[in-house]
Structure formats: C-alpha cells, structure tokens
C-alpha cells in the first residue's frame, strides 16, 4: 500500500469510528448501568434517559422480595432474577429497570417476610 493510500485508509477508519461513537444513544454516550443495593433504600438517584438501573437485594432470613411497583412511566420494570451462587442466609435478587423518559418515579419492591420494603426515587434527566 502506498503512503497516500495508507493516509486515506487511516482517515476513513477514524471517520467510521467517530460515526459509531455518536450513534450509541443520540447523545454521543453509551447508556450507563446504575447499580444499587439495599444500602440505597430511601434515597434519590439521578440517571439519564436510556440508562439501566440494576437493584441487587439480599434477604437474610425468611421471605423474599416480590414484584416491584413503579409510580410513573419515566422508569420501566424490565426483569427480576435470582443471583447465583445461592447465599445460605437467604436469596439474592436482581431487579432491572430502564429509564425511558424525563421525570421522576418511585420504585417500590415489597418483601414477603419481615424485611422492610425497598424504595428509591429515580430522577431521570434527558
């Protein structure tokens, strides 16, 4: 390959990389995964539209966390799963949500046993 072909190839490769970097969510940044645990119970968290919100909860003793409730369309419940390996103290559960639009939503996850309900307020900015 000649020198002028190499420089044209390098310029083309740089342009393609820049285009792919800007296509991720229309704002030039990839959506983030915001990870929460029971330690954030009762807090306010800020996320951007398109971000994933993962909440990992651990039960110690009887019962488990149940189906979540979301107070507005700003945040959508995606899935719930049991985490492995199992913990002898009680189940570890992962709840996944997605920030869909600007606004605020309270996420509440009730518990079937003695543990307190997990709640967090999610403020979604565009």
37 with 20, same domain: the answer is no
14 with 76, same domain: the answer is no
> In CATH, what number is assigned to the domain containing residue 88?
2.60.40.2020
Total domain count, the chain: 2
Q: What is the pLDDT of residue 9?
A: 40
Q: What is the pLDDT of residue 2?
A: 52
36 with 12, same domain: the answer is no
Q: pLDDT averaged over consecutive 10-residue blocks of the chain (126 residues)?
A: 46 38 51 96 98 96 94 98 90 97 98 90 97
36 with 93, same domain: the answer is yes
Rounded CA separation 49/29 (Å): 11
Q: What is the pLDDT of residue 15?
A: 36
Domain span at residue 26? Answer: 1-30
CA angle 5, 10, 14 (to 5 degrees): 150
Q: What is the pLDDT of residue 115?
A: 74
Q: What is the pLDDT of residue 87?
A: 86
36 with 56, same domain: the answer is yes
């Amino acid at each position: 390959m000649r020198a002028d072909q190499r420089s044209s190839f390098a310029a083309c490769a740089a342009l393609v990389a820049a285009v792919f970097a800007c296509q991720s969510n229309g704002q030039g940044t990839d959506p983030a995964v915001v990870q929460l645990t029971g330690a954030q119970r009762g807090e306010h968290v800020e996320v951007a539209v398109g971000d994933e919100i993962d909440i990992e909860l651990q039960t110690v003793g009887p019962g488990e966390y149940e189906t979540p409730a979301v107070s507005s369309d700003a945040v959508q419940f995606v899935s719930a799963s049991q985490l492995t390996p199992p913990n002898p103290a009680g189940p570890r559960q992962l709840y996944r949500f997605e920030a869909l639009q600007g606004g605020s939503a309270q996420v509440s996850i009730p518990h079937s046993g003695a543990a307190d309900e997990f709640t967090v307020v999610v403020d979604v900015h565009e």
